[in-house]
Structure 1
Amino acid sequence: MRFHFRQFLRAIMLASFSLFFIRLHVTEEITKYVNPKYTVMSQIAAGIFVLLLFIQIFRIWEPDGHPHCHAGCGHDHHSNVGAGKRISFFIILFPLLVGFAFPPAVLDASLAENKGTVLPQPRESQQQDSLPAIEHQKVLPNDNYLSQGEYNKRMEQLKKQNVIEMKEEVFAPYYEEIENHPKSYRGKKIKVSGFVYKEAGLSPHQLVISRFLITHCLADASVIGILTEFEKASQYQPDTWMEIEGTLQITTYNGVEVPVIKADKWKVIPQPSQPYIYPVLIKIL
């Protein structure tokens, strides 16, 4: 039997990728990288890596006397690995090293600041129909799908609630509705949780209770949030997770009418195990 070192290296890399994907799914950390509705695709990818690994294992050893390429086959079995192959090897190895060495980090207020402001700027029109971050999205978390009728029913419930609870499964559609029609919800009680975000121009008694909306993966993450006011707001630092209860009112920020929560109850809470919110598709029946 003859041992093929290059085939062995390829098997090691396939095994590493398989282990990496399997670990992400077992620990459920995959949702910190992609929208959960794509986890099936990731599971398929993991299965393909495992299949390729089994195939590759049989290429590591070659029986003696096995007919092999001899003179004239077009390549030299004793030649060293070229520079190009070395580079491609390290390109493939790098994401594995990063993935195993560093746990997935949750997006925070510093990244939100780099992505731009949450609240409207002076150049934005008061007549804008939808916030760019959630334009044309009808959303619930994870891999849930709703029919158009189910979605409409959820939105009707929003209008009838005495206390609007911004739970993860309805956060984004409720948020968009309130942002687009703040006068319809003025005076209603609201309960919301998220991380503290502060941007230039806010008063000491103001902060934004925010969440990251993930459409496909972390690369397209956008931050959405509701302006909140209470006397002790200045005491809470960015990235602090808080639960806020209060009343929806309307204020003017940079010449644009926006909803604002006049908080009467607030408390610091632990960061939830699933800090993001996700869009899903409306079922076409």
Structure 2
Amino acid sequence: MNVKISSVNVHYFLRAAILTGFAVYIAYVLISGEILQFIVPQLVIYVKLADAALFITAGFQFYIAFLSLKQQAIPCSCGHDHQESNDSQELAFGHHHAHGMDGSLWKNIVIYGLFIIPLVLGSCLPNKATASSLVDKKGMNLGGYAVRSIQTSGELVELGGNEDPALKQLFKANVYDRDYARLGMMLYKQQSIEMKDEWFIEKLHALNSFADNFRNKEILIKGFVYREAGLPGNQFIVGRMGMTHCIADISPYGIIAEASDSNALANDSWVTITGKIGKTVYNGQPVIKLIVEKVQPAAEPSVPYVYPDWNFASKL
């Protein structure tokens, strides 16, 4: 028996194909790890659940599409496609015709294009922008906000616990910064502070909140090179892009680095820097700086973002 393909069938299969395309694309970024270019790790589980639902919906849409092949659509002037039926079939949708699938060709192109174009662009275009272009738009965050909060947000008190009293005296904090004070004490006791991806933002906050305590401490950081207008020629910023929830809220975080040969480093190049912590002023606020002792070229990580740990205090 020959099956005649009608516009109704085409619409059903096209919808199923679009749903499948989105489901496959999301599955790809999940499996490849590229999903972390768009959202923080804590939200990945929700994307997995949504993608599973999308696959189920696409499968159901294909089921409807194949069923539609058994009924031939008869276009009519009322804007709907009547469905042929026999004694053993119920009329579609409870009445004598299905809601209209036919319409202007251009209207259909526009409607489906709204779904197809984003899918094609998402699959084909690179999902990275240069770090400098993002910083130019967002502005670099060097931790000055941390300094303001610890100076103005209430009385400073010592932390409890069994730490050395002299150490607790160094890390007095207000009620809002107690967790960062505890992190600061942990960093203070380390021979060398390494700015790993984990807790990068939290460590930067703690270091700037208690900048005087960390003078001459050794620090190791990996990031991209950025030069901001107004900085002296021997200074640049080594930074990372931080993502709070999704790519829409990314913010640059970094530390001012000071080196006599800083001009040898290209913008957006990735480096690993070892040096000593100092202190400077940026936009009227005291912040830490890095007095460079050693610079090594570094490969850009596959996922260049760092993410805040919403529960870091419970892990101290």
TM superposition shift of 1:82: 7.2
Structure 1 258/14 Cα, relative in aligned 2: closer, same or farther at 3 Å?
A: same
Structure 1 233/96 Cα, relative in aligned 2: closer, same or farther at 3 Å?
A: same
Q: What residue is the counterpart of 2:148 in the other structure? A: 128
Residues 205 and 231 of structure 1 are in contact (CA less than 8 Å); yes or no, is this contact kept in structure 2? yes
Q: How does 1:19-168 map to 2 (within 5 A)?
A: 19-62=24-67, 63-64=70-71, 65=86, 66-69=89-92, 73=96, 77=100, 79-81=102-104, 86-119=109-142, 128-129=148-149, 154-168=183-197
Equivalents in 2 of 1:78, 1:125: separation in Å? 56
SS in 2 for 1:259: strand
Higher relative contact order (CA 8 A, sep 6+): 1
Structure 1 248/76 Cα, relative in aligned 2: closer, same or farther at 3 Å?
A: closer
Runs (5+) with no aligned partner, structure 1: 131-148
Q: What residue is the counterpart of 1:170 in the other structure? A: 199
TM-score (norm: length of structure 1): 0.82
Equivalents in 2 of 1:245, 1:180: separation in Å? 21
Runs (5+) with no aligned partner, structure 2: 72-85, 151-177
Match of 1:242 among 261, 267, 271: 271
Equivalents in 1 of 2:93, 2:40: separation in Å? 50
Residues 192 and 220 of structure 2 are in contact (CA less than 8 Å); yes or no, is this contact kept in structure 1? yes
Q: What residue is the counterpart of 1:257 in the other structure? A: 286
Name the stretch that deviates more: 1-10 or 46-55.
Answer: 1-10
Aligned residues: 264
Q: What residue is the counterpart of 1:277 in the other structure? A: 306
Q: Which amino acid aligns with 1:129?
A: S
Structure 1 10/163 Cα, relative in aligned 2: closer, same or farther at 3 Å?
A: same
The percentage of aligned residue pairs carrying the same residue is: 26
Query: Does 1:12 pair with 2:35?
Result: no
Equivalents in 1 of 2:305, 2:101: separation in Å? 52
Residues 195 and 241 of structure 1 are in contact (CA less than 8 Å); yes or no, is this contact kept in structure 2? yes
Q: Which amino acid aligns with 1:67?
A: E
Structure 1 223/284 Cα, relative in aligned 2: closer, same or farther at 3 Å?
A: closer
Q: What residue is the counterpart of 1:201 in the other structure? A: 230
Structure 1 261/32 Cα, relative in aligned 2: closer, same or farther at 3 Å?
A: same
Structure 1 251/79 Cα, relative in aligned 2: closer, same or farther at 3 Å?
A: closer
Structure 1 71/274 Cα, relative in aligned 2: closer, same or farther at 3 Å?
A: closer
Residues 179 and 258 of structure 1 are in contact (CA less than 8 Å); yes or no, is this contact kept in structure 2? yes
Residues 205 and 229 of structure 1 are in contact (CA less than 8 Å); yes or no, is this contact kept in structure 2? yes
Residues 259 and 292 of structure 2 are in contact (CA less than 8 Å); yes or no, is this contact kept in structure 1? yes
Residues 140 and 254 of structure 2 are in contact (CA less than 8 Å); yes or no, is this contact kept in structure 1? no
TM-score (norm: length of structure 2): 0.75
SS in 2 for 1:129: helix
Residues 16 and 96 of structure 1 are in contact (CA less than 8 Å); yes or no, is this contact kept in structure 2? yes
